[in-house]
Amino acid sequence: MGLKDINIKEYFLTNKKLVISVLVVCVIVLSVVLFLSLPDKGKNEKNTSDIENSEHMRLIILTPLTINISDKNLNPYVLRVGVALEIENAHDKNILENNIPYVKDIIISFLRTLRTEDFDDSEIIFLIKEELLIRINKVVDPVFVTNVLITDFVVD
């Protein structure tokens, strides 16, 4: 019985080394494959003065806008707003980029009609987004803007 115990122990010790060796090789191979499959960040980045594009090319971020507004007593205030536009089709990006001056005009013209008291309503951002979406889609047709994102909104 003692002889069988020694053979079994030697068998497990031998296989343990083999299993550990195989696991080490698998970890090394997996690490190399993962490293080689990582995307290269920083390559092919474009930086324009008015527009930044997401990696999916469906989100167009406008430069922040500064707009003069007033309250009911005509006291002056400054509204700083950041806007991003999500488009349905990434291939329409160039058409929308050519219409950015018109889009900015729509945003500024609409926001200048608001008074500081309008911002007391907690739903005002949703209403602004809805109204801008309707107005922008009228101007940029055939491009379809699916969402207007307010990225920054400060009244000073």
Phi, psi of 101 (to 5 degrees): -60, -40
pLDDT given for residue 119 in this prediction: 87
> What pTM value is reported for the model?
0.62
pLDDT band at 9 (very low <50, low <70, confident <90, very high): low
Question: Is the pLDDT assigned to residue 134 strictly greater than 90?
Answer: yes
Phi, psi of 91 (to 5 degrees): -70, -15
**What's the mean pLDDT in 104-113?**
95
pLDDT given for residue 53 in this prediction: 44
Q: State how far the Cα of 54 lies from the Cα of 32, in Å rounded to an integer.
A: 29
Fold of 51-155: Tetrahydropterin Synthase; Chain A (3.30.479)
pLDDT given for residue 8 in this prediction: 60
Residue with the two structure tokens 């922008």: 136
CA distances from 13 to 9, 23, 53 (A): 6, 15, 58
Q: For the segment 110-128, what is each residue's pLDDT rounded down to a tens digit?
A: 999 999 999 888 899 999 9
